[in-house]
Amino acid sequence: MGKTITRREFIKTSMAGAGLAIAVSLTPCGCRLLSAGEAEREAKAFSPNVWLKIGSDNIVSVIVNKSEMGQGVFTALPMIVADELDADWKQIHAEFAPAADKYKDPAWGRQSTGGSSSVSHMYEPLRKAGASARQMLLAAAAKTWGVPVSECNAKKGTVLHEKTERTLTYGELTVKAAGLAVPQNPPLKDKDLFTYIGTPLPRLDIDAKVNGVARFGIDTQVPGMLYAAIARPHAYGSKAVAFNQDAAMKIKGVRNVVALQTGIAVCAETPDAAWEGTAALKAKWDKGAEPGLDTESLRKRFLADLDREGLSARNDGDAKAALARAAKKVEAVYALPYLSHTTMEPMNCTVRIGPDACELWVPTQNQTGVLALAQKETGLKPGQIRVNTTYLGGGYGRRFETDSVEEALKIAKAVKKPVKLIWKREEDMQHDFYRPANCSQVEGGLDEKGRLVAWAHTIVCPSIFARAFPDRVKDGIDPAAVEGLKNLEYEVPNISVRYVRIDTPVPVGFWRSVGSSHNGFTVESFADEMAHAAGKDPLEFRVNLLKNHPRPRRVLEVAAEKAGWSRPLSGGAEGKGIAQVFSFGTYVAQVAEVSVDREDGIIRVHRVVCAVDCGDVVNPAIITAQMEGGILMGLSAAMKEAIAFKDGGVATSNFDTYPLLRISEAPKIEVHILESGEKLGGIGEPGLPPIAPAVANAVFNAAGIRLRMLPMTPTTVSEAMKKA
Amino acid sequence: MIHLEINGTRHMVDVSPEVPLLWVIREHLKLTGTKYGCGIGLCGSCTVHIDGEARRSCQVPVGDAEGKKIVTIEGIPESHPVKKAWVREQVPQCGYCQSGQIMQAIALLSEDANPSEKKIIDTMEGNLCRCGTYLSIKRAVRSAAKEG
């Protein structure tokens, strides 16, 4: 499980193929089972489609086309197949899919993992895959026994003929089943007949991860490989003016020096020699594109751009007029910093290029992107390139980017040897595609009865999509920048949302929960401000704005009820706050209980109660873990994280300057899953957005200070306390 | 040549004594369960035992580890109460930091079989987890102490 496939095995499996290969593609009318017709018949394995393979040893291999980065797809996706197949969970084995057209996410037309969409996109295709295989196995058994299929039943990996008490395991039926036609529209189970879906099955990757044998990208070992390290400039757009190649080559073990667009690579027999080599280069760099760029200059640019008119992303009613006649108006500016992904496994990639084959081992969220890059760099055809997806030591969107893959390919091509490129933590932190910094100006208006009648929102934010998916930028609006604003569900008659795109040299990318990671904070903090301005309870105020929106209303009510919203606080907490954010198809509400130390400005979060409605539930244990993880990562960002800039580049470099949440700061968390039976939503990201506003609202409740800038560090709190 | 004893096996490595033990374990000896996370001793991913004590292998020059007993995650049997507790509590998400977390927890429990909540937190404070498995880690340490 999860081990890297050797080249020999690769050739063996790809040549041998499978009994009959069927791809499942999603059309506007639903799923369609297609004959892939590219694989040759294999005598003993039964592979009715590309997603599963049953061996004569009775092992069911589920091919997972999504990257396992902690969110549990390596378990959840096999559960879906196993359920419709009526397999025994003990016979299920998960395998990472190589990069290939047939493994593309049918909803996206690409093989990548993101947007908390793995389960919702793969749910129907994998159910169909399991169900069609089950039908074929039943038919094969019936044929073997010469009985009608209707008299046969499948259970736990075995077909039974009750009348004659005969049984055959799936493994015993593979040869016969492989010869049968693939049912195009196998009936799917009724939800109440599920055996695995909806249960907290243990994860398939735990044993390997507990025993240190799970292979991450950085663990790859290829015979004869060199280690590559890169000396990089500090400033954006900076190029090398001079470097001492000879000094690097004199280091024992150093074999090559390769100049790249992004820096100067040194290849050596050991990683220590490679790093010694990069230091020996003593590279001198020019000042770069914008040498004056620093934290303060960026802050000023963002705030100044609030005066620009920007583009209209939403315009309901007439917010301007409604504000003009409002009985009460509130105006506020919110600002959030650039954030680093800081996956615990730094960026890395291992590449081997031969004359007619290329193989990569990479912890990637973007197999389609990796394959395209490898084609471009090597000139080889897709069939000659093998992309081995390893386990990912964290992803959070960072591993959608293929920058380190491109570097590794270029280096391997230059040195004509297998190469493992490892980024140091400092490179990883200073050369990220950051969660965009942004600021918002929000104006809200209440009528004489304290009802919210106007919301005018201007956001200044860099565009992620302009670089990543330019065709998804419609009318100049970056969909991530206005996520949660354009689709704000609060029933406010007059809403205007304006987007001001700001371009800086700082690259931005997808960071867990993307635009909702910042807009959730702004919207839910401001909703709280409006509730207080109206003299209403923050929960009641929100519920009243959701009369026609039962799902967000319900998560708010459940979180509040479970947290004892109307009861006095206990256990040393001094204030409570509530927030709800819809993101990636899922509604999440959280109540946070905090205390604020007036002396040192330290906020302590005591307890978080979370209610989540992600529609159908595949694995509740994984949902709970993802909610906990989202809350803690969101809390880390809310309390501690900000990238600092200096002299044209990133000043922050490691955990000394970019502290992450530690175990002592983790509050108690309770997760309540609402099984609404609605459309499947995501779970990897939606747990994150509500925590920052829930905490900020709780701080207001505890100490009367409104924190509109993140992170909420002790210094910010102390300054706000002084002003209050 | 540096002589090392890791998980009861003796190794000879041709490496200069100032190279961090972490890289020798991972890349010279291919015991990749021990992870690189920061290189400055602030994340705990590289935690191993040296003569029974939890140490950040990125901060130990390999020369200083000569003559000492080194244990890595691969040297801890699957049946160890801490590993079993980690499985029972389904602790790992991405899993990258977990070797270090487990090695730290084992060191804690071998020193104090029934640690207080405060002791657990104080001892595990140096081990970062970006996925946010801290609550499961606490549960697993308590569970290992109980079952251990």
Q: Does residue B38 sit at the A interface (CB-CB below 8 Å)? A: yes
Contact assignment for A625 to B93 by CB distance below 8 Å: yes
CB within 8 Å of chain A, chain B residues 102-141: 102, 121-122, 124-125, 127-138
Rounded to a whole number, what is the distance in Å from the CA of A339 to chain B's nearest CA?
Answer: 13
DSSP E strand stretches across A176-296: 226-231, 240-242, 254-259, 264-268, 284-285
Kindly state the average pLDDT of the residues A391-402.
Answer: 98
| pLDDT at residue A15 is higher than 70 | no
Say how far apart CA A510 and CA A261 lie, in whole Å.
23
pLDDT tens-digit profile of A617-646? 999 999 999 999 999 999 999 999 999 999
Mutant choice from A207, A209, A210, A419 vs B, greatest count of B C-beta within 10 A: A210
Q: Was domain B81-147 assigned CATH 3.20.20.70?
A: no
Rounded to a whole number, what is the distance in Å from the CA of B114 to chain A's nearest CA?
Answer: 18
Say how far apart CA A460 and CA A508 lie, in whole Å.
14
Enter the ipTM.
0.99
| pLDDT at residue B51 is higher than 70 | yes
Of A221, A271, A395, the CB nearest to B30: A221
Q: Does residue A125 sit at the B interface (CB-CB below 8 Å)? A: no
Contact assignment for A206 to B90 by CB distance below 8 Å: yes
Q: What is the CATH number of domain A7-210?
A: 3.30.365.10
Of B15, B43, B72, the CB nearest to A655: B43
CB-CB neighbors (< 8 A) of B62 in chain A: none
Of A69, A219, A656, the CB nearest to B40: A656
CB-CB neighbors (< 8 A) of B35 in chain A: 216, 218, 344-345, 393
Residue A470's alpha-carbon distances to A371, A474, A481, in angstroms, are 20, 9, 14
Q: Which of the four pLDDT bands, split at 50, 70 and 90, describes residue A41?
A: very low
CB-CB neighbors (< 8 A) of B122 in chain A: 664
Tell me if A7-210 shares its fold with A295-338+434-723: yes
Rounded to a whole number, what is the distance in Å from the CA of B141 to chain A's nearest CA?
Answer: 13
Q: What is the CATH number of domain B2-75?
A: 3.10.20.30
Of B19, B38, B94, the CB nearest to A393: B94
Rounded to a whole number, what is the distance in Å from the CA of B147 to chain A's nearest CA?
Answer: 17
Contact assignment for B92 to A209 by CB distance below 8 Å: yes
Edge-to-edge order in the sheet of strand A603-613: A575-583, A586-596, A603-613, A668-673
Mutant choice from B56, B90, B139 vs A, greatest count of A C-beta within 10 A: B90
Torsion of CA A609, B87, B93, A53, to 10 degrees: -120
Say how far apart CA A415 and CA A418 lie, in whole Å.
8
Name the architecture of domain A295-338+434-723. Answer: 2-Layer Sandwich (3.30)
Mutant choice from B131, B133, B139 vs A, greatest count of A C-beta within 10 A: B131
Task: Using a pLDDT cut of 90, give the percent of chain A over it.
Answer: 91
Of A70, A207, A669, the CB nearest to B93: A70
**Which residues, 6+ apart, have CB-to-CB distance to A455 below 8 Å?**
A319, A442, A443, A444, A445, A488, A490, A492, A494, A495, A496
Query: Burial code of A242-281, b = ≥16 C-beta within 10 A, e = fewer?
Result: ebebeebbebebbbbbbebebbbbbbbbbbbbbbbbbebb
Length of chain B measured in residues: 148
Query: Burial code of A654-684, b = ≥16 C-beta within 10 A, e = fewer?
Result: bbeebbbbbbebbbebbbbbbebebebbbbb
CB-CB neighbors (< 8 A) of A270 in chain B: 15, 19, 23, 27-28
Task: Using a pLDDT cut of 70, give the percent of chain A over it.
Answer: 94
Rounded to a whole number, what is the distance in Å from the CA of A653 to chain B's nearest CA?
Answer: 10
Classified by CATH at the fold level, domain A217-287+347-422 comes out as: Aldehyde Oxidoreductase; domain 4 (3.30.365)
According to the model, what pLDDT value does residue A32 have? 40
Contact assignment for A662 to B128 by CB distance below 8 Å: yes
pLDDT tens-digit profile of A238-287? 999 999 999 999 999 999 999 999 999 999 999 999 999 999 999 999 99
pLDDT tens-digit profile of A191-239? 999 999 999 999 999 999 999 999 999 999 999 999 999 999 999 999 9
CB-CB neighbors (< 8 A) of B37 in chain A: 344-346, 425
pLDDT tens-digit profile of A652-705? 999 999 999 999 999 999 999 999 999 999 999 999 999 999 999 999 999 999
CB within 8 Å of chain A, chain B residues 45-104: 45, 72-74, 78, 83, 86-87, 90-99, 102
- Structural domain spans, chain A: 7-210, 217-287+347-422, 295-338+434-723
CB-CB neighbors (< 8 A) of B123 in chain A: none
CB within 8 Å of chain B, chain A residues 244-273: 270-272
Contact assignment for A70 to B94 by CB distance below 8 Å: yes
CB within 8 Å of chain B, chain A residues 159-218: 202-203, 205-216, 218
Q: Does residue B17 sit at the A interface (CB-CB below 8 Å)? A: no
Contact assignment for B131 to A394 by CB distance below 8 Å: yes
CB within 8 Å of chain B, chain A residues 637-666: 654-656, 660-664, 666
Count interface pairs A-B at CB distance under 8 A.
168
Rounded to a whole number, what is the distance in Å from the CA of B67 to chain A's nearest CA?
Answer: 22
* A642 DSSP assignment: -
Element (H, E) at B49: strand B47-50
- Average pLDDT over chain A reads 93
Q: Name the residue of chain B whose CA is nearest to A394's CA.
A: B94
Q: Name the residue of chain A whose CA is nearest to B85's CA.
A: A210
Say how far apart CA A473 and CA A311 lie, in whole Å.
12
Contact assignment for B125 to A664 by CB distance below 8 Å: yes
Contact A64, A96 (CB under 8 A): yes
Q: Name the residue of chain A whose CA is nearest to B22's CA.
A: A272
Contact assignment for A391 to B95 by CB distance below 8 Å: yes
Rounded to a whole number, what is the distance in Å from the CA of A71 to chain B's nearest CA?
Answer: 6
Secondary structure of residue A677 in the 3-state scheme: coil
Identify the CA nearest to A390 among candidates A97, A77, A622. A97
Q: Which of the four pLDDT bands, split at 50, 70 and 90, describes residue A43?
A: very low
Rounded to a whole number, what is the distance in Å from the CA of B120 to chain A's nearest CA?
Answer: 9
Kindly state the average pLDDT of the residues A343-347.
Answer: 98
pLDDT tens-digit profile of B82-101? 999 999 999 999 999 999 99
Contact assignment for A663 to B127 by CB distance below 8 Å: yes
Q: Which of the four pLDDT bands, split at 50, 70 and 90, describes residue A24?
A: very low
According to the model, what pLDDT value does residue A46 have? 81
- Structural domain spans, chain B: 2-75, 81-147
Say how far apart CA A69 and CA A444 lie, in whole Å.
40
pLDDT tens-digit profile of A477-486? 999 999 999 9
